[in-house]
Amino acid sequence: MGEKQDASPAILLQNSSTAPVILDSNRRFPDALFIMKNFLWCNKRTLKVWLLCLLPLWLTPASAEEPLIFALHPYLHTTTLIERFTPLIDYLSGRLNRKIVIHIAKSYADHIQNMALGEVDFGFMGPASYVQLWQSGAAHQLLGRLKYGEKSSFRGAIIVRQESPLTTLAELKGHSFAFGDPNSTLSSQVPRGMLAKAGVELTDLSRFNHLKNHHNVALAVLMGNYDAGAIKSEVYDEYAERGLRALSWSPFIATHPFVASPRLPKRVADEIAEILYDIERQPDAPTILNDIEKGVTAIIPAKAADYQNLADYIAPYVDREKTVVP
């Protein structure tokens, strides 16, 4: 990601016997002491000026000048996520005139915990992960969610290989199944609901496992390691021609949201939300939005009620013991 202009204020100290010295307010208290030590030869009047100039640096919290941390869950490979979200982060950084760094969590559970505890500033969440954050009572602010043309919902599929004799979900009894991360919306929690509604419990499967992400699930089914699996529609479209078939499609659910953690000041969160809503009017909107996911045309306002139907659907299958939130 390219370097952005540092938005931090700087103080220019001019002394008649020296070259100008720039004090970056990102620097900490020890740096100010170092500079003072090297100018102890100046007269008392000049020293008073130095002290008056340095005082704001000592009183300014260091965290206020640190880069914002944008968090992602590992629903795709790390390099893919970086490539997809870099245009968005570059855009936000330019509009905010502030550095933003991308943080990818080790797991979905870690991502939820980081958001709940304010270990990061804001992030992009899976719908089911957001439901867990919301229902935990952790402070947060919705910043927006994805829109695909006229649609603001999406779905996933339970998949088999093209040559599989299976034609219904009920026939999965006695067969193996690949889920994604336990906290994944469309590769784990919603598929568990689909199986249950078809009369198939986990104990009815010959075996099952939770793989790291949607691509791992698709490849595992293609290679014959599992009889069936669950993935989001975008990943299905990528692998269908290689030999996958949709056994059943999930209900449509509200799209992925952008969420501010409790450590992000509301003023900054509100500003980010407005910038996100404005993306669709920018000349480079297609690049920014389609890089996040093919077909995305805008980021629209979101509210917790958008995810109530999903919350009801997955309630029996959320493993809350593995997600630590305050």
Q: What pLDDT does residue 65 have? A: 59
- Do 167 and 228 sit in the same domain of this protein? yes
Q: Quick one: which H or E segment has residue 52?
A: helix 44-59
What's the pLDDT tens digit per position in 164-187? 999 999 999 999 999 999 999 999
The amino acid occupying position 55 is L
Residue 5: inside a domain, yes or no?
no
pLDDT band (50, 70, 90) for residue 280: very high
pLDDT band (50, 70, 90) for residue 319: low
- Do 242 and 264 sit in the same domain of this protein? no
Distance CA 126, CA 85 (A): 15
Q: What is the DSSP letter of 106?
A: S
Q: What total of structural domains would you count in the chain?
A: 3
Q: Report, as an integer, the average pLDDT of 18-38.
A: 38
17 pLDDT higher than 50: no
Domain span holding position 131: 67-152+254-322
What's the pLDDT tens digit per position in 197-233? 999 999 999 999 999 999 999 999 999 999 999 999 9
Q: Which one of 47, 63, 79 terminates a domain?
A: 63
Question: Smallest Cα–Cα separation from 218: which of 241, 190, 192, 251?
Answer: 241
Strands (E), the chain: 10-13, 21-24, 68-72, 100-104, 122-124, 141-147, 153-154, 156-161, 176-179, 207-210, 228-232, 244-249, 253-254, 257-260, 298-300
Q: Which one of 250, 271, 299 terminates a domain?
A: 250
Residue 2: inside a domain, yes or no?
no
* First vs last C-alpha separation in the chain: 33
Domain CATH number, residue 207: 3.40.190.10
**Predicted TM-score (pTM) of this structure:** 0.74
